């Protein structure tokens, strides 16, 4: 095995060829490897392994309390996993072990961005400022840690103009140009959701993690969200990992779906495979595998499941 | 009327110094929601640093240019006090971040006591004087009985405060660092997830606050010509009152609050009784906390649901 060209830094490991996994993505951007997270006696996530394909939209689904958000929190450095590794490999071959990076480096170095179930915009800052905050790192560098910024040197002025242009492009894309200078907290809910995604994208992420982006959206806003996410995947090549309950979003846009129940992976495949998986249906209906057929008949779903009980 | 005008000028000067100290309180409170009770003693410490450099420059090195001495003293005091500010945050506050809310507050009181005792031990308990540096005055108005003057010292103090307020307002509102500060203020975890180094932003805020305290400390020494180890407490608490009055978290509010406290204190001493000037100043704190807890320019606290 030849050594990779990627530079090695703190919390990075040498590149290795992606291990072949039957049915899994060939060139994963993120590999979650035997991840376990325990809170005292409660195992929120147990021995979870899955991969997120580069340039794919991957959905992480499961009933409430299945441990989806815990997985996100481990990926973005909020929790230190009890066991396991989370490996992110960038296109250049640089690999980061996310569970070892401090919070801000998950974004700065590994270039992972995320949103939360609840909206976490900076409500008192304007729409434009919310996006500019996300470009703090390049701006700070250009401003010589604010000195050039206070003095108004051209180097900072140019960086500032570039940042504003980029923010303006995103604001236009999400249709908020006319409200760019209003406090973000004054926007309607659906706009705030889209603004959060735009803000996350302003950090130039390679992996975008969205926690229930469609929660609370009406059907039209959900459709807009689908368009936005497809655009992010196709135009920017950003890989997306999302937690979602809205199956119209999940089934339409996902390239792959990973299903969790009680912290354990019960299925992993394409939307079509997941749609017909008995264990997934059982988990969502809240019954044992054997009773699926009976319950489906009761609720009028008979015939949709392939009925391949283990 | 002439007496009133003179008192007004004196009040504005005193208020400018309070305002400068209050800027430090309000910035730190803004970013981590903590009242840095050691800030008044950092101010006192910076006064001593300025005193030491002033004596070195004038007595040992024999510099005579007033402007040069003043500038060198100011810059050195700012640098050294900023280092103190950084060290205090690093040692006494950062390890307690994420602890319960009162922990850093108690730690701050500890730092405050440490600083005043430290200065008392190494510098002695007596008042330390410096020879007057700037004596010139501008006569604004004159009649047979009374002369209204604005001394150069007073002009320097008011101008410096106005310039620093403008500079810091620009820093917070218009630069990337200021945006990062406001982001940390509103949602620290989210800010970190957007690639902002929260610890460094907080450190820098303490450094800037301490540097502002150093400007106030140097000007205080220039104005009164005397400083003692206990001079941190009362101006510190009054500046805190000013920050609360103006609306804590708001930079223009801090200076506005400082000016109001300075004016009230000066007029009270001039027209009523000088013994009760502190009572008047702190009475305001109580009244403000009861009737307008968010202060004059502060945003009302919105209940998060």
Q: Which pLDDT score, from 0 to 100, does residue A198 have? A: 93
A199 touches chain B (CB under 8 A): yes
**Among B182, B186, B195, beta carbon nearest to A104:** B195
pLDDT exceeds 80 at position A26? no
CA-nearest residue to A126 within chain B is B179
Of the candidates A116, A140, A160, the beta carbon closest to that of B177 is on: A140
Q: Which residues of A touch B195 (CB under 8 A)?
A: 104, 107-108, 134, 136-137, 203
The interface residues of chain A toward chain B in range 18-57, judged by CB-CB distance below 8 A, are none
Answer whether residue A11 shows pLDDT above 60.
Answer: no
Q: What are the pLDDT digits (tens) for B106-149?
A: 999 999 999 999 999 998 888 888 887 777 888 888 887 888 88
pLDDT confidence of residue B257: 93
Q: Report the alpha-carbon distance of residue B22 to residue B44 in Å, rounded.
A: 14
- Across the interface, of B176, B187, B196, the residue whose CB is closest to A149 is B176
- d(Cα B170, Cα A109) in Å, to the nearest integer? 29
A54-72 burial: b if 16+ Cβ within 10 Å, else e: bbbbbbbbbeeebbbbbbb
Quick check: A136 contacting B, CB < 8 Å?
yes
Q: pLDDT value at position A143? A: 65
B98 touching chain A per CB within 8 A: no
Q: Once rounded to an integer, what is the mean pLDDT over residues A127-152?
A: 76
- Give residue for tokens 């240019």: B65
Pairing type for strands A95-97 and A112-114 reads unpaired
A residues 138..167 contacting B (CB < 8 A): 139-140, 143, 145-146, 149-150, 160
- Does pLDDT of A69 surpass 70? yes
How far apart are alpha carbons B234 and B276 in whole angstroms?
14
Question: Cα angle vertex A222, ends A217, A227, to 5°?
Answer: 145
Q: Which positions in chain A touch B190 (Cβ < 8 Å)?
A: 116, 120, 122
Question: What is the reported pLDDT for B114?
Answer: 95
Structure confidence at residue A1 as a pLDDT band (50, 70, 90): very low
State how far the Cα of A36 lies from the Cα of A264, in Å rounded to an integer: 10
Per-residue pLDDT at A57 exceeds 80: yes
What part of B 274-293 touches A (C-beta under 8 Å)?
Answer: none
Contact (CB<8Å) A199/B194: yes
Burial group, residue A102, by CB count within 10 angstroms (0-12, 13-18, 19+): middle
Contact A108 B179 (CB under 8 A): no
Q: Distance of alpha carbon A84 from its chain centroid, rounded?
A: 19
**Closest partner residue to A136 among B174, B189, B195, by Cβ?**
B195
* Predicted pLDDT of residue B287: 87
Cβ of residue B12 closer than 8 Å to a chain A Cβ: no
pTM of the model: 0.82
Helix or strand or coil: residue A241? Answer: strand
- Give the mean pLDDT of chain A: 81
pLDDT in tens, A211-263: 988 888 888 888 888 899 999 999 988 999 999 888 878 888 899 999 988 88
The closest CB to that of B196, out of A113, A136, A145, belongs to: A136
DSSP symbol at A126: B
Tell whether the torsion through CA atoms of A218, A117, B183 and A136 is positive or negative.
Answer: negative
How many whole angstroms separate alpha carbon A250 and alpha carbon A236? 20
* Distance separating alpha carbons of residues B109 and B96, to the nearest angstrom: 14
- Provide the pLDDT for residue A200: 92
Residues of chain B with pLDDT under 70: 300-305
């Amino acid at each position: 095995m030849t050594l990779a060209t990627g530079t090695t830094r703190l919390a990075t490991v040498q590149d290795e060829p992606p291990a072949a996994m039957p049915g899994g993505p060939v060139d994963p951007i993120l590999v979650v490897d035997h991840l376990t997270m325990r809170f005292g006696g409660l195992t929120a996530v147990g021995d979870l392994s899955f991969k997120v394909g580069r340039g794919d939209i991957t959905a992480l689904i499961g009933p409430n309390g299945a441990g989806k958000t815990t997985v996100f929190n481990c990926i973005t450095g909020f929790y230190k996993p009890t066991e396991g590794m989370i490996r992110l490999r960038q296109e250049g071959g640089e690999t980061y072990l996310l569970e070892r990076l401090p919070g801000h480096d998950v974004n700065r170095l590994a270039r992972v961005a995320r949103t939360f179930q609840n909206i976490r915009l900076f409500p008192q800052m304007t729409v434009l400022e919310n996006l500019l905050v996300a470009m703090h790192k390049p701006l700070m560098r250009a401003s010589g840690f604010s000195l050039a910024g206070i003095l108004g040197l051209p180097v900072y002025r140019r960086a500032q103009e570039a940042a504003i242009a980029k923010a303006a492009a995103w604001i236009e894309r999400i249709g908020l140009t006319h409200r760019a200078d209003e406090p973000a907290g004054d926007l309607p809910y659906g706009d705030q959701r889209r603004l959060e995604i735009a803000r996350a994208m302003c950090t130039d992420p390679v992996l975008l993690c969205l926690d229930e982006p469609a929660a609370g959206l009406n059907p039209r806003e959900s459709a807009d969200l689908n368009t936005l996410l497809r655009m992010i995947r196709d135009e920017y090549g950003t890989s997306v990992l999302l937690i979602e309950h809205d199956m119209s979003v999940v089934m339409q846009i996902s390239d792959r779906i990973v299903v969790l129940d009680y912290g354990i992976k019960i299925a992993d495949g394409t939307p079509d495979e997941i749609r017909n998986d008995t264990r997934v249906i059982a988990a969502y209906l809240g019954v044992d595998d054997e009773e699926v057929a009976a319950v489906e008949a009761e609720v009028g779903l008979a015939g949709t499941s392939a009925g391949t009980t283990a | 009327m002439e007496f009133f005008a003179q008192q007004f000028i004196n009040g504005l000067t005193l208020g400018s110094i309070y305002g400068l100290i209050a800027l430090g309180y309000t910035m730190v409170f803004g970013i981590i929601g903590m009242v840095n009770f050691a800030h008044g003693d950092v101010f006192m410490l910076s006064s001593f640093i300025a005193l030491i450099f002033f004596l070195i420059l004038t007595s040992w090195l024999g510099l005579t240019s007033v402007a040069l001495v003043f500038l060198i003293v100011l810059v050195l005091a700012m640098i050294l006090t900023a280092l103190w500010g950084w060290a205090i945050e690093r040692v006494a506050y950062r390890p307690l971040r994420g602890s319960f809310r009162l922990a850093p507050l108690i730690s701050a009181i500890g730092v405050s006591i440490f600083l005043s005792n430290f200065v008392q031990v190494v510098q002695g308990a007596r008042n330390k004087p410096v020879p007057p540096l700037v004596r010139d005055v501008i006569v604004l108005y004159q009649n047979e009985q009374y002369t209204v003057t604005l001394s150069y010292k007073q002009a320097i103090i008011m101008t410096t405060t106005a310039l620093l307020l403008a500079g810091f307002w620009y820093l917070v509102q218009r630069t990337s660092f200021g945006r990062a500060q406001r982001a940390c203020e509103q949602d620290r975890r989210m800010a970190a997830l957007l690639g902002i180094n929260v610890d460094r932003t907080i450190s820098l805020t303490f450094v800037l606050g301490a540097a502002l305290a150093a400007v106030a400390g140097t000007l205080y020494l220039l104005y009164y010509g005397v400083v003692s180890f206990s001079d941190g407490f009362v101006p510190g608490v009054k500046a805190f009152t000013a920050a609360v009055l103006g609306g804590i978290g708001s930079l223009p509010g801090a200076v506005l609050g400082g000016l109001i406290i300075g004016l009230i204190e000066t007029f009270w001493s001039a027209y009523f009784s000088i013994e009760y000037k502190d009572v008047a100043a702190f009475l305001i704190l109580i009244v403000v906390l009861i009737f307008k807890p968010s202060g004059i320019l502060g945003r009302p606290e919105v209940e998060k649901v």
